[in-house]
Amino acid sequence: MGKPRRAGTASVFRMLPSTDELLQLPETAKFAEEFGHRRLAQLARQSIDAVRQELAEASAASGDVTKDTLRDAVLEQLKRVADVSRSSGIRKVINATGVVVHTNLGRAPLSDDAIAAVTRAAGYCNLEYDISTGGRGKRGANVESVLAELAGAEDAVVVNNCAAAAFLVLSVFAKDGETIVSRGELVEIGGDFRVPDVLTQSGSRLKEVGTTNRTKLSDYAKAVNENTKLVMRVHPSNYRIIGFTEKPSLKELAELAHKNNLLVYEDAGSGAIVDLARFGLGEEPMISRAIVDGADIVTFSGDKLLGSTQAGIAVGRRDLIKRLRTHSLYRTLRADKLVYAALEATAAAYIRETAERDIPVLRMLSSTRDELESRAGSFVARLRDAGSENATIELIDGDSVVGGGSAPGMRLGTVLIAISHASVRAEVIELKLRMSDTPVVARIENDRVVVDLRTVDEGEEDLLLRTIAAAIG
């Protein structure tokens, strides 16, 4: 290599390594193993282009540039694009936000049993095979009967998500007719699930009754006519109307509907299998309660309060569930074997009555403020030992959130770990946490980074501690 020299932009560009040259360097061998040659060649070209761009913008003629410095610059760039490429896939993150059912972070984390069941089902499994007869078996038969049992219903069917379940119910039972819904329940749940739109897409016509805050039984009664096919109730999961409000009980509504030979369908959304009132979540409808009160079909999500994987579960009368399962749409909405495996293991914990211990969502919801204070207290003591002396680490009172559109306005008291630094802004600490090998997602409140251990598994605490210590060190 010659001495550093001043060069014109054009001749500097000629000193950039070619893709082939780059790929032959020993430094790129490990990337080839990880990404394969074709992808690595793309990343290499991208890196060379980026350095070329930098040179053009910095009018490279002003600096001392050699083939060596350019090669190093390109290799540096390659490391960066490899990092980006690596981090763009699905990765584990630590949820330190205190939002239990965090839709952006994959909603419910699975129980250990559910993870093991998913792993077992990942190979060949008896999804539609009856081991005792050696013949064809019914897809999801066991988990569906367990889910029906938990709901106190005659039967159950599993589809992709609750939106799919609602769509299927409306398509099968309300197409080409009217569905009566209260104006107080025409809700939007997370951007693309809007009750009026799902109704229209299913081929049913919306018959709105009542007002936003008050709908009476007589409003429903007056709306019934020869075109009515279904009475639908929607749990307005993510918002509350408070004050001067009224709506008939499900029991009253079911009596009215059945008197008129109509079906009542309740979209419960989150739904609860066990009574969550003792965690302050009494307003979430219990699935079994809705069945007792007379709903013919109830739908709910697999990955909200149930604490399992993405799925939509419809429970209810056997003849009705059978019509859902045998309709041609079912084939487009049906769930994957991994879903049945996760649901089956989750449902087993409810049957054993160990749900609160085994299912992460319920464990997190049931953590008391005192428990969280004691965990946070020992965590902070360790963090102070490991962290920087310029950091201020304190315990403050705060609130966790149920999330997933459940129980809005519901406050779950917690104790937060608040972190600030004499010379590093909260936004920078938060960014460093997010960009760590295992990204940590935390919140910022009043210029401090706050960490809520409610959504952190105890087994993740050591890693969280090291990551925070590195970010403020």
Ligand X SMILES: *Cc1c(COP(=O)(O)O)cnc(C)c1O
Residues forming the site for ligand X (CB under 6 A) = 161-163, 166, 189, 193, 234-235, 237, 267, 269-270, 301, 312, 405
C-beta separation of 114 from 363 below 8 A: no
User: Residue of minimal CB distance from ligand X?
Assistant: 269
Neighbours of 294 (CB within 10 A): 18
> CB of residue 239 vs ligand X: minimum separation in angstroms?
11
Between CA 233 and CA 206 the distance in angstroms is 12
> CB of residue 325 vs ligand X: minimum separation in angstroms?
18
Using the minimum distance from each CB to ligand X, give the nearer residue, 153 or 163: 163
> CB of residue 203 vs ligand X: minimum separation in angstroms?
19
Judged by DSSP in three states, 96 sits in coil
> CB of residue 86 vs ligand X: minimum separation in angstroms?
29
Using the minimum distance from each CB to ligand X, give the nearer residue, 114 or 163: 163
> CB of residue 163 vs ligand X: minimum separation in angstroms?
3
Using the minimum distance from each CB to ligand X, give the nearer residue, 334 or 432: 334
Between CA 156 and CA 168 the distance in angstroms is 13
The strand pair at 297-301 and 135-136 is best described as: unpaired
Between CA 348 and CA 113 the distance in angstroms is 9
C-beta separation of 415 from 398 below 8 A: yes
Neighbours of 9 (CB within 10 A): 13
Using the minimum distance from each CB to ligand X, give the nearer residue, 17 or 405: 405
Alpha helix (H) ranges present in 369-420? 369-386
Neighbours of 241 (CB within 10 A): 13
> CB of residue 232 vs ligand X: minimum separation in angstroms?
11
The helix (H) or strand (E) run that includes residue 257 is helix 250-259
> CB of residue 249 vs ligand X: minimum separation in angstroms?
18
**Would you give the distance in Å from CA 368 to the centre of its chain?**
23
Q: How far is CA 465 from CA 234, 367, 393, in A?
A: 42, 20, 12
Using the minimum distance from each CB to ligand X, give the nearer residue, 229 or 304: 304
> CB of residue 142 vs ligand X: minimum separation in angstroms?
22
Neighbours of 59 (CB within 10 A): 10
Using the minimum distance from each CB to ligand X, give the nearer residue, 210 or 269: 269
Using the minimum distance from each CB to ligand X, give the nearer residue, 161 or 467: 161
Using the minimum distance from each CB to ligand X, give the nearer residue, 194 or 216: 194
